[in-house]
């Protein structure tokens, strides 16, 4: 068996796994193919699973009382995705996950993650490090909303995530930055003119 073909080593990059450990991991991850505009999680559904994104692009958004959508996060290759607030507590989703580009995902349940944490301890360390990165990422984003102008935050986004920018609509970016499409349009115009 070629190691290259193992989804376990693709997902848990840079950690060393024995053949036996790989065989524990493999059956827990289920390949899922999703098409553009497909919804893989609806508000109100109990969240048992999270997804590893092998390729494509998705977003998770919240729909407020007035019907406006607010994109909380995008996910591209090698990112993990779920309504984590609900996933961590196995409760009902308050957000929707929508597929933006044809994607290949690997679904894994919380139950199986806990099995892996217990039986392949490196996976828990791996996920802890992922969570640490997410922490730093979120803090940076919050800090950005506190002191940066919308123009700066837009440029940050475009420079930091050029791959995402190519795959999503401007109104997705606007809803991620927390501004209207009109405002984003004017900011883009301003940038082009200068």
Partner DNA sequence: CGAAAATTTGACATGACTCAACTGGAGTGG
Partner DNA sequence: CCACTCCAGTTGAGTCATGTCAAATTTTCG
Per-residue binding string, its own copies, 41-80, x by CB under 8 A, is ---------------------x-x---x-x-xx-------
The entry of DNA, its own copies, none that residue 77 binds, CB within 5 to 8 Å by partner kind: none
d(CA 36, CA 25): 28
The entry of its own copies, DNA, none that residue 111 binds, CB within 5 to 8 Å by partner kind: none
Report, in Å, the least distance between residue 75 CB and DNA.
Answer: 19
If binding is defined by CB under 8 A, does position 111 make contact with its own copies?
no
Residues in contact with its own copies, counted by CB under 8 A, come to a total of 33
Report, in Å, the least distance between residue 5 CB and its own copies.
Answer: 29
Contacts of 27 (CB under 8 A, 6+ apart): none
- From 124, 161, 167, 188, residue interacting with its own copies (rule: CB under 8 A): 124
Report, in Å, the least distance between residue 136 CB and its own copies.
Answer: 4
CB 75 within 8 A of CB 179: no
The residue among 107 and 186 lying less far from DNA, judged by its C-beta, is 186
Q: What CA–CA distances, in Å, run from 189 to 108, 113, 128, 155, 193? A: 43, 46, 41, 13, 6
Q: Which of residues 143-162 bind its own copies (CB under 8 A)?
A: 143, 145-147
The residue among 43 and 167 lying less far from DNA, judged by its C-beta, is 167
Question: H-helix or E-strand containing 54?
Answer: strand 49-63
The residue among 43 and 179 lying less far from DNA, judged by its C-beta, is 179
d(CA 178, CA 59): 15
Q: What CA–CA distances, in Å, run from 63 to 36, 43, 71, 145? A: 19, 9, 9, 20
Largest Cα–Cα distance of the chain, in whole Å? Answer: 59
- From 33, 46, 77, 136, residue interacting with its own copies (rule: CB under 8 A): 136
Which pair of structure tokens corresponds to residue 83? 């309504």
């Amino acid at each position: 068996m070629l190691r290259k073909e193992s989804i376990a080593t693709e997902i848990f990059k840079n950690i060393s796994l024995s053949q036996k450990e790989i065989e524990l991991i493999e059956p827990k991850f289920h390949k899922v193919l999703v098409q553009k505009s497909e919804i893989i999680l609806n508000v109100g559904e109990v969240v048992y699973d999270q997804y590893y994104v092998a390729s494509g692009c998705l977003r998770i958004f919240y729909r407020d009382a007035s019907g406006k959508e607010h994109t909380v996060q995008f996910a591209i290759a090698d990112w993990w995705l779920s309504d984590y607030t609900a996933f961590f507590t196995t409760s009902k989703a308050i957000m929707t996950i929508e597929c933006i580009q044809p994607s290949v995902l690997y679904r894994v349940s919380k139950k199986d993650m806990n099995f892996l944490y217990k039986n392949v301890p490196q996976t828990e360390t791996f996920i802890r490090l992922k969570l640490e990165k997410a922490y730093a990422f979120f803090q940076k984003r919050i800090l950005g909303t506190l002191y940066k102008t919308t123009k700066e935050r837009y440029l940050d986004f475009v420079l930091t995530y050029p791959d995402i920018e190519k795959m999503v609509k401007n109104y997705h970016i606007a809803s991620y930055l927390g501004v209207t499409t009109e405002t984003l349009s004017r900011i883009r115009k301003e940038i082009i003119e200068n």
